[in-house]
Structure 1
Amino acid sequence: MSRILRTPDERFADLPDFPYAPHFIELGDVRMAVVDEGARDGEPVLLLHGEPTWSYLYRKMIPPLVAAGLRVVVPDLIGFGQSDKPASIEDYSYQKHVDWVFDAVRALELDQVTLFGQDWGSLIGLRIAAEHPQRFARVVIGNGFLPTAHGSPSLAFLVWRTFARWSPVFPIGRLVDTGSLTKLTKAERAAYDAPFPDRTYKAGARAFPRLVPLRADDPAVPANRAAWDALAAWDKPFLTLFGAKDPILGRADAPLQRHIPGAAGQPHDRLRGGHFIQEDQGPELARRMIEFIGAGRR
């Protein structure tokens, strides 16, 4: 692995509405930051962010989930947030991200997990849930999917992929603002920019769009197709809560609902929100997750 960067701690001082200190997990060459809040004996909720965000995205959801007695675990994916950032795009792969997150799940000894995954959090989370179903009690997906290189990508995604790779500037905070219906404050945009002091820290964010498997010969396709087949037998509760105004993934909930047995009869919904539905509907997402978890106890 090439040079590994670590964002200075002072970049994360005094972030608005984010008083959480991370725990760190050593994963071989890299260190992953994890927000771990709530009762240690509470049912664990694993919140996985995507591109190009970090655990700050869940600041509106953590307090109500903790107040409900849940243990809330929010990793920063490698390359993001307060986690380490390999400096070369070639240091990132779909499989590495899956392995890093699952190694963290094992290190934290999480069991009977409720997963919430959005964007790349769903691409990673659905793989892990399909490959290790004994660890998971239920799944909630918001604006995400599991790509298997069947069909053609949307023009909006191809434009995004090209921009992420070639644009001379990659303004993280403004990208999150654009993908949300709720306009971020200057301080909130700065919080999304905080993990990236300069362009050398953004290799992971630049890499993610090109790691989405679009062709059958992509190295991630066999494992993703196997996971998709496994989800065809997933009979545990499976819920979709999507932002309806997402131009790329706003309609990706329908094939998940058709394919996964555990999605039958669940209170799926498309909410007023963009791609970053956590910004637009964070408290409502938390409320519905609490109800979803409670229904499984009855």
Structure 2
Amino acid sequence: MNYESFNLVAPGTLRTPEESFEDLKDYPFKANYLTIGDTRIHYLDEGPKTGEVIYLLHGEPTWSYLFRKMIPTLTKAGYRVIAPDMVGFGKSDKYISIDDYSHQMHVDKMVELIIELDLNNITAHVHDWGGMVGLRVIAEEPDRFERVIASNTSLMALGRGFFNDLRSFISWPIFKVAIWLQGPSTWEEFVGGDGFISWIRYSRYTDNIDIGGVMQVLGSVSDSEKAAYEAPYPNATYKAGAQIFPYLIPSELRKNERAFREVLEKWDKPFLIANSDNDPVTGNNPRLTEILRRIPTSQEIIIKGPGHFLQEEAGSQYAELIIKFINGNPEGFTMKKKVIDRNDIL
């Protein structure tokens, strides 16, 4: 491989050039950076520094751009918003090899960021893979968090008992073999609604994951917004983090279960499950929400209309919901469902 065409900042590590982010739609926020180990992490720090902290953690295949419609509402209400980009996403550094990404690596980086910034009394909003990572972060630093809102996400764990412990131990190697035997999935199979396994097979084996296309399918974004989601990736080599994320979902079931048993099942602070009724992820997999009901203080509301990326379709309304949650009176809301013709994407 000819690395001269890449912005290589360390062996095996890429950094997206700043010019890739020029003129992004509705993203006027100042970039902040923190170096953790040998990796530079980008994060937004908006609003008054003395304000109560709201921590927004993105998932797959997004970055802090996802929260641009929410941040103005939250900061106007006096909150300090921290929104990091995980390694491999947004303005954070990106590892070239998929083998350098792991669930634990993401947890470690986000824990260190919170410690370095000395964040406390945090309201955490976690979404998609942000829940998989964020709930583990919360389990490692529970005293720093005051409340949690989880949307269209979960933390994969199989529950208590010898049989489930055995399943947790063997599921990951079996899953890897199963995906290998099934082989690649096409973009058409994914967009055509062939199921979550098709998404994993597509993202894992494709040469160039279509991040903008994914956001059009699941987030109904405009062409300029689609370009913004592709902006962090000048070419496919930068996309290893997004490529491997779905494949890693069952990779740490035992650690996830430990997080439930040691912390989350004992959680005594507010915890809100706020799913959208047109989310194909939680909608087609009710077990994901059932897992979060293990948290004793969990309460649930339904947001009617939006799909998986409700931050795109209902950003300001969703920010208001978070504020109401902080004030102790969260309420769901209804908005008109956006419909996209998938034939325009195929």
TM-score normalised by L of structure 2: 0.79
Q: Does 1:187 align with 2:196?
A: no
- In structure 1, the residue matched to 2:128 is 119
Return the alpha-carbon distance in structure 2 between the equivalents of residues 66 and 275 of structure 1: 24
What pairs with 1:196-235 in structure 2 (closer than 5 Å)? 196-213=233-250, 218=251, 220-229=252-261, 230-235=263-268
SS across alignment from 1:137: strand
- In structure 1, the residue matched to 2:205 is 166
Of 248-257 and 48-57, the range deviating more from structure 2 = 248-257
Q: What amino acid does structure 1 have at the position aligned with 2:318?
A: L
**Any gaps of 5 or more consecutive residues in structure 1?**
none
What pairs with 1:1-298 in structure 2 (closer than 5 Å)? 2-149=11-158, 156-180=195-219, 183-213=220-250, 218=251, 220-229=252-261, 230-250=263-283, 251=286, 254-256=289-291, 258-263=293-298, 266=299, 268-295=301-328
Return the alpha-carbon distance in structure 1 between the equivalents of residues 27 and 287 of structure 2: 30
Return the alpha-carbon distance in structure 2 between the equivalents of residues 159 and 277 of structure 1: 22
Shift of 1:256: 4.6
- In structure 1, the residue matched to 2:161 is none
**Any gaps of 5 or more consecutive residues in structure 2?**
1-9, 159-163, 176-193, 330-346
Q: What amino acid does structure 2 have at the position aligned with 1:17?
A: D
Deviations 1:228-285 (A, max 9, x none): 222111110001111211222234564155311111xx46223311111111121111
Shift of 1:2: 4.7
Whether the aligned pair in 2 keeps the contact of 1:119 and 1:144 (CA below 8 Å) is: yes
CA RMSD in angstroms, aligned pairs only: 2.0
Q: What amino acid does structure 1 have at the position aligned with 2:235?
A: D
Whether the aligned pair in 1 keeps the contact of 2:54 and 2:82 (CA below 8 Å) is: yes
SS across alignment from 2:314: helix
TM-score normalised by L of structure 1: 0.91
The one of the two structures with greater contact order (alpha-carbon pairs below 8 A, sep at least 6) is 1
Q: What amino acid does structure 2 have at the position aligned with 1:262?
A: T
Q: What amino acid does structure 1 have at the position aligned with 2:229?
A: Y
Deviations 1:130-154 (A, max 9, x none): 222101000000100001256999x
Return the alpha-carbon distance in structure 2 between the equivalents of residues 226 and 88 of structure 1: 28
